[in-house]
């Protein structure tokens, strides 16, 4: 069992060392920064992953595989309740018609229809992708839906 007299003295943290206060203090002249180089200059901050002269860890190992990165083009999405609000009976829902109505701005790479809400109007939908729930609701209401890239 540990008793109070067994415990050593507890030092919460290292004492702050004041540098540049004369050569007798061990941290005079260069203040513990060495002679020359980037580390001795003011404003120096060690870069993340810096290992001195060693080749950094992230450059040491080969990079493998192929990432889609910038090749993945995001699709614009629209929900059924939004289609219901924007279009009237007999109209065609396409990427071009949505741009015309000001629903999208900027470049578009395709349209995906999602299933939130209800679509009561008889419109024809042309999109790249349609979610499962949206497809069920469209089929339920007998709305024509064409998927093409």
Asked which of 5-14, 42-51, 118-127 is least confident by mean pLDDT, the reply is: 5-14
Q: State residue 22's pLDDT score.
A: 93
Asked which of 40-44, 69-73, 113-117, 142-146 is least confident by mean pLDDT, the reply is: 69-73
Tell me the pLDDT of the chain averaged across its residues: 88
pLDDT over 70 (residue 149): no
User: Hey, how many other C-beta atoms are within 10 angstroms of the C-beta on 9?
Assistant: 4
Q: What CA–CA distance (Å, rounded) separates 45 from 69?
A: 31
One DSSP character per residue, 48-114 reads TT--TTSPPHHHHS---S---GGGPPPPEEEEHHHHHHH--TT-EE-HHHHHHTTS--S----EEEE
Q: Which residue has the tokens 């939130």?
A: 116
User: Which pTM does this prediction carry?
Assistant: 0.54
Using one digit for the tens of pLDDT, what is the confidence trace for 22-61? 999 999 999 999 999 888 999 888 888 888 889 998 888 8
Give all domains of the chain, ordered by start, each with its CATH number: 18-64 (no CATH), 71-147 (3.100.10.10)
């Amino acid at each position: 069992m540990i008793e109070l007299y067994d415990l050593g003295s507890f030092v919460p943290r290292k004492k702050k060392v004041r540098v540049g206060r004369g050569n007798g203090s061990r941290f005079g002249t260069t203040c513990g920064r060495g002679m020359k180089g980037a580390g001795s200059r003011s404003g120096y901050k060690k870069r993340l992953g810096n290992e001195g002269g060693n080749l950094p860890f992230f450059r040491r190992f080969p990079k493998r595989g192929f990432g889609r990165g910038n090749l993945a083009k995001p699709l614009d999405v629209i929900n059924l309740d939004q289609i219901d609000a924007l279009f009237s009976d007999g109209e065609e829902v396409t990427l071009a018609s949505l741009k015309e109505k000001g629903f999208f701005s900027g470049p578009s790479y395709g349209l995906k229809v999602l299933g939130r809400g209800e679509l009561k109007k008889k419109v024809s939908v042309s999109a790249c992708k349609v979610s499962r729930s949206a497809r069920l609701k469209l089929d339920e209401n007998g709305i024509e839906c064409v998927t093409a890239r």
